[in-house]
Amino acid sequence: MAQSYSSLTQTPQPDDQRIVVTGMGVVTPLGLGKETFWAGLVAGRSATGPATQCNLSDLPCRVVAEVPDFAAHDFMDHREARKLSRASQFAVAAARMAVADAHLTIDDSNREAIGALVANSSTSPPEIEISTQAFFERGPSRINPFHFAASLPHMPACQVAIQLGLLGHSTSIGTACAAGAQAIGEAAEIIRRGDADVMLAGGSEATICRLTIASFVSLRALTTSAELPPAAASRPFDARRDGFVLGEGAGILVLERLSDARRRGAPIYGELLGYGAAGDAYHITAPHPQGAGAARAMQRALTRAQLSPADIDYINAHATSTPAGDIAETIAIKQVFGEHAHRIPISSIKSMIGHLTSAGGAVEAAATLLALQHHLLPPTINYEYPDPACDLDYVPNTARPAPLTVAMTNSFGFGGINSALVFRRAPNVEDSASV
């Protein structure tokens, strides 16, 4: 393992190299906006339930986590919205909320220095399903002319730039379940190297349809239990877990230099201290059984942040509610944190919102920042039967007050892509965001 440092001996960085989060926008199964999202998390409310967007009656998995009451025309012209995939609509909505939350004005004086890095990995399965059905049933002339362009994985990032008028560094990343967190980590590097002053970073995904569900069922990745009610289907770390619940949504953070944020009097949620990424090189879908790549990613994030394991007050786990994945993450945490692992509170908000795949890491980063701001740990709900192989403190079922300064959030993707982010509370209390 790489060297760790104590926070007491951190090498100070100049303010123009310190990256802070000044705004956030979320579209989640718990609702729209950070206030609704956070209230749902603190209340331990499950957003998983029967699918309404598609008929899953003939499939063994019928539980999903859908975004309720989403109206794209609330965030963009309704004619433009019709050309966009649901994932792009989510991304634009989250980006607009994040910009407003950051009190950021975008105009000709700064738009060339503002970019977007929005993760997406799916090529819009619901839209593909609709177009494929139209093609075979009604012929090629019935294909939506915008289908191909609208379904490209980088289109959520493009649409954020188009709809908000951003002329800076814009791109995407498609590393599946690790992508949202990696987008945030890589966006910070874009700012540090001088290619942007502000980045809108995160992820967006909307994959709920028969094609996706059937594909994940064939992988044996989704929960298929008929014994549990839909609200209890996602149960990370619990001994009765049998797979994840597919969710949808988007999370966008506004990243900028600390010096710039202070200059414009922006609210500050927290500072991104460390980002680590590592590969398993093991299997296309299964995690390394000893969590080797996950451990390396966490260690690299700690090393980059110049922190020791004892400096971490909370871990927002990737934990998807799969039998192998939750054990591997537990093993990885023990490997990195040693005895301190048993003292760190750990929770998985996927117990409430399901697995948002490429959007998951970004939405969970937002949850981590809100936990730091409120000194409150979101729970892991549906935790009823302890698994001897998962023996850490998973903040079961009820939110818990706790003094928090530094937190880590993990995101692990198909193909053995692992990432970890470390955040610290706002540098000064007077800079803290009002949420």
Mean pLDDT (the chain) is: 94
Domain at 17-263: CATH architecture: 3-Layer(aba) Sandwich (3.40)
Q: Which residues contact 107 (CB under 8 A, 6 or more apart)?
A: none
H helices present in 307-391, as ranges = 323-337, 350-353, 360-374
Please give the Cα distance from 95 to 104 (Å, whole number).
Answer: 11
pLDDT band at residue 428 under the 50/70/90 scheme: low
Question: Which among 357, 359, 377, 358 has a CA at the least distance from the CA of 367?
Answer: 377
7 pLDDT more than 60: no
Domain at 274-426: CATH architecture: 3-Layer(aba) Sandwich (3.40)
pLDDT at 433: 41
**pLDDT more than 70, % of the chain:** 95
pLDDT in tens, 310-338: 999 999 999 999 999 999 999 999 999 99
Which range has the worst mean pLDDT, 63-72, 140-149, 374-383, 410-419?
140-149
4 pLDDT more than 70: no
Name the region of 65 (left: φ>0; alpha: ψ -120 to 50; beta: rest): beta
The more confident residue out of 145 and 1 is 145
330's tokens: 């537990």
Residues 172, 67: contact at Cβ < 8 Å? Answer: no
357 pLDDT more than 90: yes
- Point out the residues that are catalytic: 177, 318, 355
pLDDT at 143: 83
The shares of helix, strand and coil residues in the chain, as percent rounded to the nearest 5, are: 40, 20, 40
Give the pTM: 0.94
357's tokens: 């795949």
118 pLDDT more than 60: yes
Please give the Cα distance from 31 to 70 (Å, whole number).
Answer: 8
Which range has the worst mean pLDDT, 219-228, 230-239, 362-371?
219-228
Within 10 A of 5 (CB to CB), how many other CB atoms are there? 16
6 pLDDT more than 90: no
pLDDT at 430: 41
pLDDT in tens, 128-144: 888 888 889 999 888 88
pLDDT in tens, 241-288: 999 999 999 999 999 999 999 999 999 999 999 999 999 999 999 999
Hey, where are the domains in the chain? 17-263, 274-426
Burial of 377 (0-12, 13-18, 19+ CB in 10 A): buried
In the block, tokens 């593909």 appear at 128
| One-letter identity of residue 161 | A
Q: What is the mean pLDDT of residues 61-74?
A: 96
**The two domains 17-263 and 274-426 share their CATH topology (first three levels equal):** yes
Please give the Cα distance from 75 to 143 (Å, whole number).
Answer: 26
pLDDT at 10: 59
Residues 107, 167: contact at Cβ < 8 Å? Answer: no
2 pLDDT more than 70: no
CA atoms within 13 A on the CB side of 157: 31
